[in-house]
Structure 1
Amino acid sequence: MSIHSTITPAVSAVPADAPLYEERPWGAFWSLDRGAAHQVKRIRVNPKGRLSLQYHYHRAERWVVIEGTATITVDDAVMKVQPGGVVMIPKGAVHRLENLTKTPVEIIEVQMGDYLGEDDIVRLDDAYNRPKREARA
């Protein structure tokens, strides 16, 4: 007699080889949770660091500032966001987070979409001279 498991791993919009932690020129991120149509990350942006000006084809994002003061651009709007502040980034919106302060900024990022790989980043401007499209690992 054999026992077969009926538990099937959940399908995820995040590629199986996607990193759980990665350092970037501006700071680092940790993937906290992944599901069929979502990913939750904790993102730390070092003082004077900034993410690329970018957009995504496959996902929308919600950013919740949990530490520091973030300068966030979404399309033509630029705002300073304090801890507890929430910013919605629709799919296709041009966006960036900058840390113009002397202390780290941390956010919780909730990604929602049908594909959540790092190669869905299209960079329009980047202070660190990275490629326009993120390469898939």
Structure 2
Amino acid sequence: MTFQSTVRPAPSAVPADAPTYEERPWGAFWSLDRGAAHQVKRIRVKPRGQLSLQYHYHRAECWVVIEGTATITVDDAVMKVKLGGVVMIPKGAVHRLENRTKSHVEIIEVQMGDYLGEDDIVRLEDVYDRPATEVRG
């Protein structure tokens, strides 16, 4: 007997010319999928690297650790999150991802909101001296 599904996956909204990989001072990310109200990235943080302490006006995020042990700050809570750990970051919450180890840390980040542009990053602290808001041309 052959099984055929009538359910088809929704096509990805990622444009063909969209960057799928970008390097940052702390490591790199891959854009995996993008739709009207979501975006999925794979983020790799170098040993001793950290993202800026930041928040977003328009999106919430869900982080799943897929490699290593991440140090994650959400508002006043700082936690070590191991493989398989999941952290929800509400819209407007101050947050940071750090790698305090000697090995890479990787997460899957799912962004959800009405606007997902890179210019919706408000930096409160950044060890790489990047601007307070991310503006792309």
TM-score (norm 2): 0.87
Shift >2 Å, 4+ stretches: 14-20
Residue 65 of structure 2 aligns with which residue?
Answer: 65
Note the 1:1-137 alignment, pairs <5 A: 19-137=19-137
Flag structure 1 segments of 5+ consecutive residues without an equivalent.
1-9
Alpha-carbon distance between aligned partners in 2 of 1:115 and 1:129, rounded to the nearest angstrom:
25
Aligned length in residues? 127
Q: Distance in 2 between matches of 1:16 and 1:90?
A: 30
CA distance in 2, matches of 1:61, 1:85: 14
> What letter corresponds to residue 68 of structure 1 in structure 2?
G
SS class of match (2:119)? helix
Alpha carbons 1:65, 1:83 under 8 Å: kept = yes
Q: Secondary structure at the match of 1:120?
A: coil
Encode CA deviations 1:58-109: one digit per residue, 9 max, x unaligned: 0000000000000000000000000100000000000000000000000000
- 1:25-44 CA distances to partner (integer Å, 9 max, x unpaired)? 00000000011100000000
Cα pair distance change 1:47/1:60, threshold 3 Å: same
Is 1:15–1:117's contact at 8 Å kept on the other side of the alignment? no
Q: What stretches of structure 2 of length at least 5 have no aligned partner?
A: 1-10
Q: Is the 8 A contact 1:18 1:117 kept in 2?
A: no
Q: CA deviation at 1:19?
A: 3.1
Counting aligned pairs with the same residue, the percent is 85
